[in-house]
Amino acid sequence: MTYSPKVIDHFQNPRNVGSLPKDDPHVGTGLVGAPECGDVMKLQIRVSPGTGVIDDARFKTFGCGSAIASSSLVTEWLKGRTLDQALAITNGDIAHELQLPPVKMHCSVLAEDAIKAAIADYQRKREANAAATR
């Protein structure tokens, strides 16, 4: 397997590795994949209460270099986006940017799933909070 320079860069210098407090009402957490499949991604976003814009994103990934690079890349892309703009990111965008070969397409699919899962978690929390304060 040869890797594109961008995959190697993200693998060697991953952006935004780490965790945000998952109980924070402004944080959404997505955990997708399965250990027996060889990749698990945890993607977290924090949404600014004032603007509704994602102001922080973190990841931790168990997976191949392309999976790590895909999640690292999306943390960069997510910062500064609204949720609608975040949902517009597709696996094709990720695969294109990283020049992933066909056998690595599932890494980009997983990263897209992680974005959707993190946003869904954030929205679930907001609705639960709204219901509690009502």
Q: Which positions touch another protein (CB under 8 A)?
A: 1, 3, 8, 11, 14, 17, 19, 31-42, 60-65, 67-68, 103, 106, 109-110, 113
Q: Is 64 a catalytic residue?
A: no
Nearer to another protein, 19 or 82 (CB): 19
- What the block records as the tokens of 20 is 């945000």
Supply the minimum distance, in Å, between the C-beta of residue 62 and another protein. 5
Supply the minimum distance, in Å, between the C-beta of residue 56 and another protein. 17
What span, in angstroms and rounded, lies between the C-alpha atoms of 87 and 101? 23
Comparing C-alpha atoms, which of 84, 43, 82 is closest to residue 60? 43
| SS3 at position 81 | coil
Q: Is 107 a catalytic residue?
A: yes
Q: Which of 12, 18, 37, 90 is an active site residue?
A: 37
- What the block records as the tokens of 31 is 């955990």
